[in-house]
Amino acid sequence: MGNGTRARWACAIAVGVLAVAAYWRSLLYPFIADDYIQIRLGRWLGDPAKWRDLLADPLYRCRATSLYLTNLTEHLFGLEPLAYNISSVLLHTVVALLVGVLARTLGLGALAAAAAAGFYAVYEGHQEAVIWYSALPEQLVVGFSVGSLLAWRRWLDRERGGAGWYGLSLGLFGLALASKESGVVVAPLLLWMALWRRARSWPWILGAAAPFAALAGAYAAAILAARSVHQFFSDGTFTLGPHVLLVLPRSLAAMLFFWGALAAVAVGWSRVLRFSLGWMALALVPYSFLT
């Protein structure tokens, strides 16, 4: 085992230790009210035999992966809260490691990428998605989205080759869409990543991105077509309106404060900062339609 391999394993273990250290107390938590709803939905719609019912539901078909995982967890471990809590922390650890790999893929140094993964592992801003089992879709959509972006980058580096990486990226994108609505941001982020990499063959890249855009468009159209029966449109969770122009910058400012703003000052007005702000803004667009 070379020094580089040992260093990567050491970083991975360190990230795992940080994730567990930040959330070990949550392993002892009992179920909360919404967790029982999640388990009931897993029994009802997470059963593979009920896929037609799941497909017909405009809200929960966008959370299919979490329902299948919940159904599987109950089949394996019953109603033992520890098993669900462990699976949530493990998933958080995997996503933290993927964040580090993505940072490295985007060109950050090994130390910076490790710091990004470690920061994600302990940052409290997204603790709800780890501690609250019913928020499982958030972790899954991030994991599948980052996986799709990593596979896309590998495909880009092969100069029009590597059909397997392209297929993997598209497949993981489909799983991201089946995890939560915010998965649609992968489509524009693919192009943002290509722009960051200073790609030259833009007709080829735009053609490759077209299936992602078409899938995202069809996905969004299916949600909008079901507005009259969609729970989140009837209860006011989603609203299509000009408020997005206020929510987006306010959300971006809140996300940057405090450490992000400090990092922005340290980096200065550079290509890195412009790329980062664009990346964050694109990722926040779906959440800006929340009321």
CB 202 within 8 A of CB 240: no
Q: Is the pLDDT of residue 7 over 80?
A: yes
* φ, ψ dihedrals at 238, nearest 5°: -105, 135
Q: In this predicted model, what pLDDT tens digit does every residue of 155-167 receive, in sequence order?
A: 988 755 578 999 9
- DSSP states of the chain as a string? --HHHHHHHHHHHHHHHHHHHHHGGGGG----HHHHHHHHHHHHTSSGGGHHHHHH-TTGGGGHHHHHHHHHHHHHHTT-HHHHHHHHHHHHHHHHHHHHHHHHHTT--HHHHHHHHHHHHH-GGGHHHHH-GGGHHHHHHHHHHHHHHHHHHHHHHTSS--HHHHHHHHHHHHHHHTT-GGGGGHHHHHHHHHHHTT-S-HHHHHHHHHHHHHHHHHHHHHHHHTTTT-HHHHTTSB--STTHHHHHHHHHHHHHTTHHHHHHHHH-SSHHHHHHHHHHHHHHTGGGGB-
pLDDT at 133: 95
Mean pLDDT, residues 40-55 taken together: 94
Q: Is the pLDDT of residue 1 over 70?
A: no
pLDDT at 190: 95
Q: In this predicted model, what pLDDT tens digit does every residue of 107-137 receive, in sequence order?
A: 888 898 999 999 999 998 889 999 999 999 9
Give the whole-angstrom CA distance, residue 11 versus residue 27: 23
Q: Of 174, 132, 178, 144, which is closest to residue 26 (Cα–Cα)?
A: 132
CB 70 within 8 A of CB 38: yes
More confident residue, 124 or 23: 23
More confident residue, 168 or 267: 168
Q: Is the pLDDT of residue 250 over 80?
A: yes
Inter-CA distances, 46 with 93, 134, 186, Å? 24, 14, 25
- Tell me the pTM: 0.92
Q: In this predicted model, what pLDDT tens digit does every residue of 199-245 receive, in sequence order?
A: 878 898 999 999 999 999 999 999 988 888 888 888 878 787 888 88
pLDDT at 160: 54
Mean pLDDT, residues 247-263 taken together: 90
CB 215 within 8 A of CB 174: yes
pLDDT at 159: 55
